[in-house]
Amino acid sequence: MDAPAVSVDARAKRATGPIVLLGAPGAGKGTQAKLIAAHFGIPQISTGDLLRDHVRRNTPLGQQAQAIMGRGELVPDQLVCGMVEQRLAEKDCEQGFILDGFPRTVAQAQWLDGRLQAGLLRGKPAEKVPLLVIDIAIDYALLVQRLTARRTCPQCGAIYNLQSNPPHKAGVCDLDGANLITRKDDQEAVIVERLKTYERETLPLTNYYQQRGALRRIDGAGTVEQIAQAVRDLLERRGS
């Protein structure tokens, strides 16, 4: 059966708007972003996934990013912002989108504010919904544990955890049967660098967004489902 026709106004009411997921590497941003994207029917935009795709395709951006990512440092703002700008211009972002891993610096946050204010989504429903920033807060000891136990599917991007969310068959993705991998930057030495980078560059963003009244905090220590429920409650409360 065809979906009933919806007026622009009704669509505008339903627009989820722009969402940013903040949190240290391993806090669960990717896992939660996928669940939110599926629940609200909006795209997940993971700058880490986009960059890894550039590396795989060996594009000029991928060539510049590869070594930086391997060291656990940040790819320059200008390159990442350009990549995000292109993705946000796609039609599926009209009703809203969830950014996972972006912004990661105050300069990137300022760029995003500027684009939203300048009508990046001009005339489209999502523009009318203010930016919501969800910070998944979590203890450092737990982060290292989670990152070393993380396995990902190189084909579909599904994320597993050997302890809390293992695949049905060891080493194989439940969704497409591909062999799971450990991300190169999930090795302990790189994890330590990524956490230092996070503290120096990304943690100041919580203040940045708090001052603007956009920040909501969620405890990231629970199970995937507990955190997902907390995120859904937050988003649904906002919509009412």
User: Is 150 part of the annotated catalytic residue set?
Assistant: yes
User: Is 194 part of the annotated catalytic residue set?
Assistant: yes
Stretch that binds ligand AMP, among 43-51, 129-137, 140-148, 157-165 (CB under 6 A): 43-51
Catalytic residue among 34, 146, 151, 194: 194
Judged by CB under 6 A, which of 75, 93, 191, 205 binds ligand AMP?
75
Please tell me whether residue 150 binds ligand AMP under the rule CB under 6 A: no
- Alpha-carbon gap, residue 117 to 127, rounded angstroms: 9
User: Is 11 part of the annotated catalytic residue set?
Assistant: no
Which residue lies nearer to ligand AMP by CB, 17 or 23? 23
Which residue lies nearer to ligand AMP by CB, 15 or 81? 81
Question: How many residues can be counted in the chain?
Answer: 240
Stretch that binds ligand AMP, among 35-43, 102-110, 121-129, 204-212 (CB under 6 A): 102-110
User: Is 57 part of the annotated catalytic residue set?
Assistant: no
Please tell me whether residue 72 binds ligand AMP under the rule CB under 6 A: yes
Catalytic residue among 34, 52, 104, 124: 104
Query: Least distance (Å) from ligand AMP to the CB of residue 11?
Result: 29
Query: Least distance (Å) from ligand AMP to the CB of residue 68?
Result: 6
Catalytic residue among 14, 115, 183, 217: 183
- Alpha-carbon gap, residue 169 to 211, rounded angstroms: 46
Stretch that binds ligand AMP, among 45-53, 130-138, 168-176, 211-219 (CB under 6 A): 45-53
| Residue 67, CA atoms < 13 Å, CB-side half-sphere | 3
User: Is 104 part of the annotated catalytic residue set?
Assistant: yes
Which residue lies nearer to ligand AMP by CB, 12 or 144? 144
Write the secondary structure of the chain as one string of H (helix), E (strand) and C (coil): CCCCCCCHHHHHHHCCEEEEEECCCCCCHHHHHHHHHHHHCCCEEEHHHHHHHHHHHCCHHHHHHHHHHHCCCCCCHHHHHHHHHHHHCCHHHCCEEEEECCCCCHHHHHHHHHHHHCCCCCCCHHHHCCCEEEEEECCHHHHHHHHHCEEECCCCCCEEECCCECCCCCCECCCCCCECECCHHHCHHHHHHHHHHHHHHHCHHHHHHHHCCCEEEEECCCCHHHHHHHHHHHHHHHHC
Query: Least distance (Å) from ligand AMP to the CB of residue 4?
Result: 38
- Alpha-carbon gap, residue 47 to 63, rounded angstroms: 15
Q: Which residues within the stretch 103-142 sit at the binding site for ligand AMP (CB under 6 A)?
A: 104, 108
Which residue lies nearer to ligand AMP by CB, 74 or 98? 74
Active-site residue numbers?
A: 29, 104, 150, 183, 194
